[in-house]
Structure 1
Amino acid sequence: MRFLARTGPYLEPTTTPTPTRLTVDVWADVLCPWCYLGEARLSRAIEMSPHAEHIELRVHTFQLDPQAPATVVPTLEYLAGKYGAAPAQARAMEQGMADKAAAEGLRYEVNRPASNTLDMLRLVHLGNEHGVAFDYLRAMQAEVFSGDDAAFAPDTLVRLGEDLGIPADAVREVLATNRYADAVRADHDQAVRLGATGVPFTVLGERLGIPGAVSTAQYTAALDQAWEQIHG
């Protein structure tokens, strides 16, 4: 596992955490398969940590493909268009990810829907105002990766938000405007400044960076290391 030590100034959070808390900042995109797996592994590692009650998980957005079409297309078609992958090659890659997801107990449809994720990521920022950003992100990913053809539909996004206590009108207001678009771009730029080239990207205690998804055991070791550093 490769950790990236933080060398530059960290611009978040706006408030200073208490010395007894360990912050875990995660950058992710809804359509990113490795984010979907990595978040599940990280969540499990945090739950198993003896310091779980003192760990604060914070989610940030990172749009991998701002040029993705707003129309919904099958994932294999999207991959073929974006990367020039042959259908058989794209299916084989996705099946490999599906097998990894199954090992984590996650649903994963190979030819799930794909579309531009800006609206979903803007809603993650709305979720942050209500204290449910990570849960909202995970709920949207669950819809997408389970193969729900309506995963990107406004009614679906409203329903998922309401399930987490976000008023339907608040979700609809975001979807009808450009609200939080600047916040999505700011999160992306911040991750790049910290050394991210893709997602998932995780920073522990504002000190240790983990590029990519690692195993639950590796996340556990990283949490222990970061805890020792901030309390050493």
Structure 2
Amino acid sequence: MADIRIDIIADYVCPWCYLGYTRLSQAIEQLGDDYKFDLRWQPFELHPEIPAEGVERDAYLSRKFGSQEKLNEVSHALQQIGIQEGLEFNFSEEDIVPNTFLAHQLMTRAKSSVLGTPIALALFEAYFTHGKNLGDKSVLIKIAEDAGMEKSEIENLFCLEDQVLTEKKLKHLSTIDIHSVPTYVINDKFMIQGAHTADSLFKTLHDIIENEELE
């Protein structure tokens, strides 16, 4: 059984990262049981300028997209794509776009608990389906508890050590020409950018694996 490492570079307020993981998991399933995949979530901040308390989604994103009408159009399109992919995107006037640094810091701790992917998916669902503020420590602690993180690990959430490590990861990734997410790095050699279809990801992964086996 071959081991394939995939570094998933993502932000938890990025809908295409959520869709991208769903498609990636479908591609991995298509590849069957001959390969063991080691998925490692790496941090990326789409909106690092957002303050710790977050900002109103409609006001912030309508400026990004140029108008409230355009934001509504994009939101509706996402909801339709989500339905096709089995994901639920809900948006309301009360939604907050958070600063996601603390969510990434939680994922730094989750990696040591081998709960990376379950917690990543819980973060996506909390934000996109339930409208939770991922900048709120109480929300993140609840996600960690529900995922089964050990009490000792939860007590160390948001510690200085994890903060520094998260900052180092963000700084490192900014130096290797990654400017958008989702981005997947395979075995530290190959890079795939964007939320490709499951079939496209399957073909790319299959070609990469074959190339690796020939070396």
Report if TM-score (shorter chain) is over 0.5.
Answer: yes
In the alignment, the residues of structure 1 paired with residue 13 and residue 57 of structure 2 have an alpha-carbon distance, to the nearest angstrom, of 10
Q: CA deviation at 1:170?
A: 3.0
Contact 2:79/2:89 (8 A) holds in 1: yes
Are 1:68 and 2:50 an aligned pair? yes
2:6 partner SS: strand
Match of 1:228 in 2: 210
> Residues 147 and 163 (structure 1 numbering): CA distance in 2 closer, same or farther, change over 3 Å?
closer
In the alignment, the residues of structure 1 paired with residue 186 and residue 81 of structure 2 have an alpha-carbon distance, to the nearest angstrom, of 24
Q: Deviations over 1:85-134 (max 9, x none)?
A: 21111111121122111111001013343211111110001000001112
In the alignment, the residues of structure 2 paired with residue 161 and residue 84 of structure 1 have an alpha-carbon distance, to the nearest angstrom, of 33
Are 1:79 and 2:52 an aligned pair? no
Q: CA deviation at 1:192?
A: 3.2
Pairs aligned (count):
212
1:21 partner SS: strand
2:145 partner SS: helix
Match of 1:43 in 2: 25
Contact 1:68/1:115 (8 A) holds in 2: yes
The more displaced of 39-48 and 177-186 is 177-186
Of 15, 32, 37, 1:55 maps to 37
Contact 1:35/1:199 (8 A) holds in 2: yes
The amino acid of 1:184's aligned partner reads T
Contact 2:27/2:202 (8 A) holds in 1: yes
Q: Structure 1 segments of 4 or more deviating over 6 A? A: none
TM-score (norm 2): 0.88
In the alignment, the residues of structure 2 paired with residue 73 and residue 169 of structure 1 have an alpha-carbon distance, to the nearest angstrom, of 32
> Residues 193 and 75 (structure 1 numbering): CA distance in 2 closer, same or farther, change over 3 Å?
same
Contact 1:202/1:211 (8 A) holds in 2: yes
Match of 1:182 in 2: 164
Equivalent positions of 1:1-232 (< 5 A) are 20-51=2-33, 53-81=35-63, 83=64, 85-111=66-92, 112-149=95-132, 152-168=135-151, 170-175=153-158, 177-232=159-214
The more displaced of 145-154 and 133-142 is 145-154
The more displaced of 87-96 and 180-189 is 180-189
List alignment gaps of at least 5 residues for structure 1.
1-18
Contact 2:2/2:35 (8 A) holds in 1: no
Contact 2:53/2:98 (8 A) holds in 1: yes
In the alignment, the residues of structure 1 paired with residue 30 and residue 20 of structure 2 have an alpha-carbon distance, to the nearest angstrom, of 15
Q: Deviations over 1:13-61 (max 9, x none)?
A: xxxxxx9311111100110111011011111211221246422111111
In the alignment, the residues of structure 1 paired with residue 204 and residue 74 of structure 2 have an alpha-carbon distance, to the nearest angstrom, of 28
Q: Is the helix fraction higher in 1 or 2?
A: 2
> Residues 156 and 172 (structure 1 numbering): CA distance in 2 closer, same or farther, change over 3 Å?
farther
In the alignment, the residues of structure 1 paired with residue 119 and residue 34 of structure 2 have an alpha-carbon distance, to the nearest angstrom, of 20
Contact 2:91/2:131 (8 A) holds in 1: no
TM-score (norm 1): 0.82
